Structures are given as structure tokens and as C-alpha cells.
Amino acid sequence: IVKPSHEGSSFGVSLVKKESELLAALAYACFIHDAKGQPVLLEEYVEGMEFTCTLLIHPKTKAVTFFPPTEIVHTHQAEIHTFEQKYMPGHSQKFTPARCSLENLKKIQETCLKAAQALSITTVARIDGFLKADGTIVIIDPNTLCGMAPSSFFFNQAAYQGMGHSALINHLIKMELEGYDMNAIKIEKQNADEKHQKIRVAVLLGGPSLEKETSLDSGRNVCYKLSREKYDVIPLFVDAKTELYPLSEKLLVHNSTAEIEHELDRSTKILWHDLPRICDFVFIALHGIPGENGAVQGLLEMFKLPYNGSGIATSALCMDKYKTNEFLQSQGFSVPESILIFKEDWLQNKDLFFTKIEKICGFPAIVKPHDDGCSVMVQKIKNKNQ
């Protein structure tokens, strides 16, 4: 492994398999930040279960709170935990607790605590490492600050202890203030005698479309940003079969929809027609079909449930790029010239479409699905062969 000596988040890290790859990896690591360069570290390649372990150490009392270690599994043919694997939705899988024996879980926690104490880390420590096949624990990266993104390891592991985002952040502030011998800030709770009743908001996230990872991120952000003083927030995961499942804190922080699907308790399924019984408002955080094409909107209107965004007709029209452009053109707007190609027609007479393309669009041209979003499968083609 080749890495810069003073960077984080896996910037500039490479796995070198043969001597001919070394020079390029050294240069990449050395100059990842600026032209001045920095020293480069070469490490042995460690094989085993990759983990990250977070723990809280009270700055004054030194009391320790352990969170369950997370196992990291790379996807998309990645061999190391790169920046993309860490932060791009769906690019890696997290298993919390890590899939090893209870004895090894405890051994990981104890080793990480010793490493944190040796380095005099206080309040929060996130220690990364490997559990080798022979039971040896190898520490590769101690962190004094944790990522605070909605699905970061910190929140993911804390959720297994029953701590949500707000509770954990407030706890951190309280710990730090106690470490400085300052009075903790009191978080005012809603008056129990207050007559105002909270609005129950169901947040739909996930879904069967290609944009499900983006939807997971969007919906999770909505859940975390809604005021708990005004709303009872109900995260509802829409799975690959378009079925509804309520999400606990520990499921909500998962990094990908695949992880959530893997751990769902199928006995908790909620039927769509039960929505009026459990909520007052539906926040649609779905991307693509069926959240953007009017299908969910139609269902909610049948149930007389208010929701965010446009209605059935507008949603259905705007999900179809070709129909949208046709409509806008009829209203006097300038839109790109286009051809809608159906599979059956294409197979019957490809030459006819090539003639149309050259006549109407020419090359280069843009090819896209007519009913997807987020630039999924959009391509620029420069010639007939492409």
C-alpha cells in the first residue's frame, strides 16, 4: 500500500501489485495535495476483515462508551477503501456489528481503546484496522475527528446503542463542556402540557428505481432536518418490490439500500392503504419511478393524504422527457430536436432511424432513456457505430 503521510479520507492511496506500478503510485501520493509534495509511506498489504471502531472517552472522568465495530465490504471491484467507497452512496457495504465472534468484537474494542489511550485521544476516537485470519488485530488509522455525514460510521454505530443524531451530538457537546468544567447547555423539551399536537410525517425513501441510493440520502436528510418539536417523523423504506417498511435509527443510517434490504424485518411491513392511519402528511423523497411519475401521488390523493410536490398529471408528464419536450414546444418554447425510438420499430428497420437521426439530429447526438432521471444512462454519441 502506498499513501501520503499527511492526508485523510484515503486520498492518494494506492494498492501496488507489481514493481512497474510503484513509480506512478509514489508520484500520485506525493503530489496529491500540491506541487510541493510530501513524504510517502509504503505499508505491507494486510489481508483480513477491515473494520472501523468508534468509542467515546469522557475528557474528564475518562469513562469509555464502546460502539459496536463496523465491518467494511468493498463493492464495484474495489480492492481498498477509497474515497469513493467511503462517501459515494452504494459504493461499499457496512455490517454493524462486524460479522465475527463476540470474542473478536471485544478484542477489537479493547485494542482500539488501548490505541486511543496511547495517543491521548479524548471525547471521540475512530480507529480503523484489520482482523487477520489468525486473530491478530492490525491498527492502520487512528482518527481524532469522525465524519458527521448522515450515514457516517459514527452515527451508524451509535444507532445500535439507541442514540439518534440529535442525542449523540448533544451528548458530545455535554461531554466537552464537562471536560472544561462548564455547565452543560440545557436542551429545552417540549412542554408536556402544551395543547399543540405534533404532525405525523411519513418520509418515503429508497424505492425500486436506479436512483434509490440518491433517494436514501435525500430521505434520510429530510428525517434528520425535520423539527422534532413540531413533527413525529416516520421514515418509511420503499423496497425493490415497492413495499413499505418502517426504519429504526440503526437501519436509517445504513450506507446503501442493499444493506437495509438485507436487515429488514419483513414482519413489520406496512400496507399502502394503512398510511392514513399512521400519518397526517407524506413527504415524498423518492427519485424516479414510482415517486416522480404520478403513481404515488395518485395513491395519496385516493387516500386524501397531503404530500409535497406537484400533482398526478404534472408528475406523469415531467417524468417522460419526450412528452415534456413535445408539450413545451407546443407552448412556444425552444427544445432540442428529438426522435423517440421504440425497441420493436428499431429491430424492424434500423436504417430508417439512422436516416432520421442524420436528418434531424446529426452527430454528435445525445441518447437518453425517456423516463429516467439524474442523467442515468445519458450518453453523447459521435458517430453511427456508437
- Give residue-wise pLDDT tens across range 50-65: 999 999 999 999 999 9
Q: Which of 82-86, 178-182, 239-243 has the lowest mean pLDDT?
A: 82-86
Return the pLDDT at 37.
93
Q: What percent of the chain has pLDDT over 70?
A: 95
Mean pLDDT of the chain: 89
Work out the pLDDT band at 181, boundaries 50, 70, 90. confident
Percent of the chain at pLDDT > 90 equals 62
pLDDT in tens, 65-89: 999 999 999 876 778 887 777 767 6
Q: How many CB atoms lie within 10 A of CB 27?
A: 14
- What does residue 43 show for φ and ψ, rounded to 5 degrees? -125, 155
117's grid cell: 489511550
> pLDDT grade, residue 8 (50/70/90)?
confident
The answer, yes or no, to whether residue 154 has pLDDT greater than 80, is: yes
Entry field: residues in the chain:
386
Question: How many other C-beta atoms can be found within 10 angstroms of the C-beta atom of residue 336?
Answer: 10
Nearest to 55 by CA among 101, 107, 122, 120: 122
Model pLDDT, residue 51? 96
CA nearest neighbour of 136 among 74, 48, 45, 55: 48
Q: 148-157, 252-261, 325-334, 359-368 — which is least confidently predicted?
A: 148-157
Q: What are phi and psi of 376, to 5 degrees?
A: -60, 125
- Which three cell numbers, joined as nine digits, stand for 154? 459514527
| CA pair distance 30, 41, nearest whole angstrom | 9
- What is the number of alpha carbons within 13 Å of residue 111 lying toward its C-beta? 23
Q: Is 82 exposed, middle or buried (0-12, 13-18, 19+ CB in 10 A)?
A: buried
pLDDT category of residue 283 using cuts at 50, 70 and 90: very high
pLDDT of residue 130 exceeding 90: yes
C-alpha 270/C-alpha 260 separation (Å) is: 16
Instruction: Say how far apart CA 233 and CA 191 lie, in whole Å.
Output: 19
Nearest alpha-carbon partner for 233 in 293, 170, 166: 166
More confident residue, 148 or 249: 249
Going by C-beta distance under 8 Å and a sequence separation of 6 or more, which residues neighbour residue 106?
none
Amino acid at 109: Q
* 64-66 and 49-57 beta bridge pairing: antiparallel
How far is the C-alpha of 68 from the C-alpha of 159, rounded, in Å?
Answer: 10
